[in-house]
């Protein structure tokens, strides 16, 4: 009996080691190496190119960052992206609240179907959505690219807002709501005392998630905005085109990726429970 338990324990430990090794190797190949290469390419000095057979760049400097900032429209693209994204996040948050409350707190027939319908934009390629959405904007005579991009990004981010917020509403204990009402609190006071303390992480996560999605969105920004209104993803696409310069593209990639990684880490810290899994439909 002891031998079998010892053998099972050893097998379990071996399996755990294999899983961890596989996890580490996959992450090194998938994340560490590409990110490390992008960092190195972004720091290649313009006067000392990095080429074969050099294993690493001969000279590292921030001159490439300075050149890209001074000689391209990156500053304008950043301004556009970080103007559009907060507007999209707030609009998506406000529009998602009624649906999220209904899905999270109100039992009704066909609720599961309604939840599935909210996920439809997630399964359609964004470029297809962008093309058809552009046709709709033209039919409505909406020619302002800023408005078009904001509306398009809001449509894309709504499913995430609804799922995150509905998961938050579901987590509020009914006993807490009933206790607040029994003590004579009105709807606003009940929301402040029963809902808000528990919903704060979901509110922040929904806003930040939508912010990140809008910052990274390329399809709608390119189809509706180019060439009048450029964002960071669209200017990165232009750097990857005919006049491809790898260090310049690496600089823009870092500017796009690093803030989003920081925001996603912040979301993960906010939602240590199961909110994020429920919100993305994977819980």
> At which residue do the structure tokens 């294993």 appear?
55
The kind and range of the H/E element at 255 are: helix 246-270
The answer to whether 88 and 147 have CB atoms below 8 angstroms apart is: no
Mean pLDDT lowest for which of 48-57, 83-92, 178-187, 262-271?
262-271
pLDDT confidence of residue 7: 58
All residues at 6 or more sequence positions from 121 whose CB lies less than 8 Å from its CB, including other chains: 129, 155, 156, 158, 159
Partnered with residue 44 across adjacent β-strands are 60
Percent of the chain topping pLDDT 90: 17
pLDDT confidence of residue 6: 61
All residues at 6 or more sequence positions from 224 whose CB lies less than 8 Å from its CB, including other chains: 130, 133, 134, 137, 145, 148, 149, 152
- Total-model pTM: 0.79
Q: How far apart are CA 55 and CA 243, in angstroms?
A: 25
Q: How far apart are CA 27 and CA 23, in angstroms?
A: 6
Q: Name the average pLDDT for the chain.
A: 82
121 against 62, higher pLDDT: 62
3-state secondary structure of 44: strand
The kind and range of the H/E element at 108 are: none
CATH homologous superfamily of 73-279 equals: MetI-like (1.10.3720.10)
pLDDT band of 95, cuts 50, 70, 90: very high
* Exposed/middle/buried for residue 207 (C-beta within 10 Å: 0-12, 13-18, 19+): buried
Domain boundaries, the chain: 73-279
pLDDT confidence of residue 282: 42
pLDDT confidence of residue 279: 42
178 against 92, higher pLDDT: 92
Rg (CA), the chain: 24
pLDDT confidence of residue 283: 42
């Amino acid at each position: 009996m002891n031998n079998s338990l010892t053998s099972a324990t050893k097998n379990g430990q071996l399996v755990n080691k294999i899983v961890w090794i596989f996890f580490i190797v996959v992450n090194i190949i998938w994340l560490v190496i590409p990110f490390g290469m992008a960092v190195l390419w972004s720091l290649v000095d313009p006067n000392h190119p990095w080429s074969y057979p050099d294993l690493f760049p001969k000279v590292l400097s921030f001159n490439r960052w300075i050149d890209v900032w001074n000689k391209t429209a990156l500053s304008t693209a950043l301004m556009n992206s970080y103007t559009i994204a907060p507007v999209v996040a707030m609009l998506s948050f406000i529009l998602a609240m009624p649906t999220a409350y209904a899905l999270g707190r109100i039992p009704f027939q066909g609720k599961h179907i309604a939840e599935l319908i909210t996920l439809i934009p997630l399964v359609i390629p964004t470029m297809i959505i962008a093309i058809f959405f552009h046709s709709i904007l033209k039919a409505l005579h909406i020619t302002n690219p800023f408005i078009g991009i904001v509306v398009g990004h809001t449509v894309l981010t709504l499913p995430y807002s609804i799922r995150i917020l509905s998961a938050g509403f579901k987590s509020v204990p009914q006993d807490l709501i009933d206790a607040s009402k029994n003590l004579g609190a009105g709807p606003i006071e009940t929301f402040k005392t029963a809902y808000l303390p528990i919903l704060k992480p979901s509110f922040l996560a929904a806003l930040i998630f939508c912010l990140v999605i809008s910052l990274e969105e390329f399809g709608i920004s390119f189809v509706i905005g180019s060439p009048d209104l450029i964002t960071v993803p669209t200017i990165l696409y232009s750097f990857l085109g005919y006049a491809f310069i790898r260090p310049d593209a690496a600089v823009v990639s870092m500017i796009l990726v690093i803030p989003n990684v920081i925001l996603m880490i912040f979301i993960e810290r906010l939602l240590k429970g199961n909110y994020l899994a429920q919100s993305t439909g994977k819980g």
